[in-house]
């Protein structure tokens, strides 16, 4: 099944309540929120605002995978994503640092080194160079934008629909004296506010999976990209081995969806077709998770410490491993009972744990990849 133009056009767009979003982020995270990180930031969230975010997110996840349930999640894609990252950003930074993505891993290579190389590789395949103006779609807290700006000398504009993450990204760019190269914009990637043909290149790293329909976000990227410009994306997709009618397969996909704020997981062919349907010419495609690597991409979640390459990685991998996640979940649960963490904290960590389990299952069975790499180009004669 592919995503049709009719489905794309019938998909409603979210209202742009940016001022309301900003006020909610302030209420939830407090003043100077960017200066706090990890679990320390989590426990200082406003309890009533946290309850609103938890209810707003989990109301969509009742175990149902029928068309009505999926349509509801797609229609509420913007709120779904905003609430998700309000709830999980602090846990992501605690476990992964400031780059929220998977990577390939080589023998003898440190975890942070692999993360940076994964970002460098995308910039290389796209041909990003200095003096280019580049858009990062779904920029998170700006880890990849900082790395790619340093690596290539380009300037990067980060687009994000979560005010808290924008605030944190801006904090880091000031901290590392990169404000001349980096800027961040609040916005919806399904309806971008940039003028057409603004950017020399556009990339997205494990972010456009939050779109309700891939043609919607890809068409917006196509619009703001200059003719001849490249779009590079590490896309989350189900592989050709995935069978939507297989209950085990669908359960794995649903576990990934609920724990990662995804309205609907699509197969690889849907992404490829969507790129072509909006006008892109696909120049390169490769499942970077299916390269017969000695160390699998999901090893940080698997708890297999045999794959740890450096002494310094032990602490990072422990936090993301099964044991580390259990420690975090139980600690957060206890803090919630004692009133030291906001209500719903345990529910959030349980969802993240479920996501991790299903990501590993999907990886082991080769049903899922978080790094289906596409490099596509907007034709020079595009109108």
pLDDT digits (tens, 9 = 90+) for 33-81: 677 776 677 778 888 999 999 999 999 898 888 889 899 999 999 999 9
pTM above 0.95, yes or no: no
- pLDDT tens-digit profile of 140-152? 999 999 999 999 9
- pLDDT tens-digit profile of 75-90? 999 999 999 999 999 8
What pLDDT is recorded for position 1? 34
9 pLDDT above the threshold of 50: no
As a CATH number, domain 111-245+267-293+370-378 is 3.40.50.150
Nearest to 277 by CA among 210, 192, 376: 376
Measured CA distances, 144 to 89, 173, 378 (Å): 15, 12, 23
312 alpha-carbon distance from chain centroid: 25
Q: What percent of the chain has pLDDT over 70?
A: 96
């Amino acid at each position: 099944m592919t995503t049709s133009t009719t489905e794309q056009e019938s998909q409603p767009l979210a209202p742009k309540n940016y001022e309301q979003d900003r006020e909610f982020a302030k209420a939830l995270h407090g003043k100077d929120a960017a200066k706090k990180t990890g679990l320390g930031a989590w426990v200082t969230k406003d309890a009533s605002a946290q309850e609103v975010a938890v209810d707003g997110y989990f109301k969509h996840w009742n175990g149902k995978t029928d068309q009505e349930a999926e349509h509801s999640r797609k229609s509420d894609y913007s709120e779904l994503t905003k609430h998700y990252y309000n709830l999980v950003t602090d846990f992501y930074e605690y476990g992964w640092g400031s780059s929220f993505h998977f990577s390939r891993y080589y023998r003898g290579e440190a975890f942070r080194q692999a993360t940076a190389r994964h970002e460098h590789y995308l910039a290389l395949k796209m041909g990003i160079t200095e003096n280019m103006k580049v858009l990062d779609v779904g920029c998170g807290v700006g880890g990849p934008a900082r790395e790619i700006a340093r690596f290539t000398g380009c300037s990067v504009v980060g687009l994000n629909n979560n005010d808290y993450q924008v605030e944190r990204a801006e904090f880091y760019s000031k901290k590392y004296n990169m404000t001349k190269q980096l800027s961040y914009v609040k916005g919806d990637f399904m309806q971008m506010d940039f003028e057409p043909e603004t950017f020399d290149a556009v990339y997205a790293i494990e972010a456009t999976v939050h779109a309700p329909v891939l043609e919607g976000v890809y068409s917006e990227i196509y619009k703001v990209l200059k003719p001849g410009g490249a779009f590079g994306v590490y896309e989350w997709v189900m592989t050709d081995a995935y069978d939507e009618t297989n209950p085990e397969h669908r359960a794995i996909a649903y576990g990934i969806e609920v724990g990662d704020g995804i309205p609907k997981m699509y197969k690889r062919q849907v992404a490829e077709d969507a790129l072509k349907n909006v006008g892109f010419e696909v120049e390169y495609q490769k499942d970077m998770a299916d390269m017969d690597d000695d160390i699998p991409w999901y090893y940080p979640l698997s708890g297999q410490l045999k794959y740890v390459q450096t002494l310094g990685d032990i602490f990072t991998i422990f936090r993301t491993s099964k044991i580390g996640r259990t420690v975090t979940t139980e600690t957060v649960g206890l803090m919630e009972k004692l009133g030291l963490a906001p209500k719903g904290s345990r529910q959030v960590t349980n969802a993240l744990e479920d996501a991790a389990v299903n990501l590993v299952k999907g990886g082991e069975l080769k049903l899922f990849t978080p790094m289906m790499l596409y490099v596509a180009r907007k034709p020079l004669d595009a109108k």
